């Protein structure tokens, strides 16, 4: 049985989902064939007040982004009740990278910085991937320096692999 079927059955039996159930179903709806179900769940989320929960709003934004609807993903992101946390920022940046919108991804990456948010591994990886696709080695170097100067992530193996990949894809010899 699919998660969507079980979720619908749960609602038919008058069992209200909690935050965890919503996170799971939004992840299951992160495929284009389930986007209509995701829209219905979005209405439920707003009606029940779950849209005020950062994790639920982030999962909702992620669902729309994975389904290719960046406009709705950004609307959800921009309407978060609290200022977005680093996970919400990383998610929206990654969504734009996933959809091949590298310039917008980098714009969001730097907006996150300018708003005082400390990046995490996921946001750095997304920013570096965008740099590699745009062949923006100088921007990639700026991000690399900020990793070394501002964080303790310089030994993170995923981040190191992404740095190597970015420099290699941009044609850097050292």
pLDDT above 90 for 138:
yes
Structure tokens given for 85: 């946390």
pLDDT above 80 for 40:
yes
pLDDT above 70 for 1:
no
Structure tokens given for 171: 């044609």
Using 50, 70 and 90 to split pLDDT, how confident is the model at 153?
confident
Please tell me the least confidently modeled range out of 14-23, 30-39, 113-122, 143-152: 143-152
Using 50, 70 and 90 to split pLDDT, how confident is the model at 76?
very high
pLDDT above 80 for 148:
no
pLDDT of amino acid 93: 98
Phi, psi of 95 (to 5 degrees): -60, -45
pLDDT above 70 for 8:
yes
Three-state DSSP at 120 gives: coil
Its pTM stands at: 0.90
Contact 153, 124 (CB under 8 A): yes
d(CA 85, CA 55): 9
Query: Domain residue spans in the chain?
Result: 1-82, 106-174
Contact 57, 41 (CB under 8 A): no
Q: What is the mean pLDDT of residues 70-80?
A: 96
């Amino acid at each position: 049985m699919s998660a969507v079927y079980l979720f619908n059955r749960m609602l038919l039996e008058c069992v209200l989902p909690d935050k965890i159930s919503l996170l799971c179903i939004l992840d299951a709806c992160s495929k284009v064939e389930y986007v209509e179900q995701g829209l219905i769940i979005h209405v439920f989320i707003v009606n029940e007040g779950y849209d005020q929960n950062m994790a639920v709003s982030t999962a909702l934004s992620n669902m729309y982004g994975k389904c290719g609807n960046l406009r709705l993903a950004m609307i959800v992101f921009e309407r978060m009740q609290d200022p977005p946390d680093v996970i919400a920022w990383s998610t929206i940046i990654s969504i734009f990278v996933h959809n091949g919108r590298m310039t917008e991804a980098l714009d969001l990456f730097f907006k996150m910085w300018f708003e005082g948010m400390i990046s995490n591994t996921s946001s750095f990886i997304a920013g570096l991937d965008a740099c590699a696709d745009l062949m923006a080695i100088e921007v990639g170097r700026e991000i690399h320096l900020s990793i070394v100067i501002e964080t303790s992530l310089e030994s993170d193996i995923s981040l190191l692999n992404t740095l190597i990949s970015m420099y290699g894809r941009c044609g850097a010899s050292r």
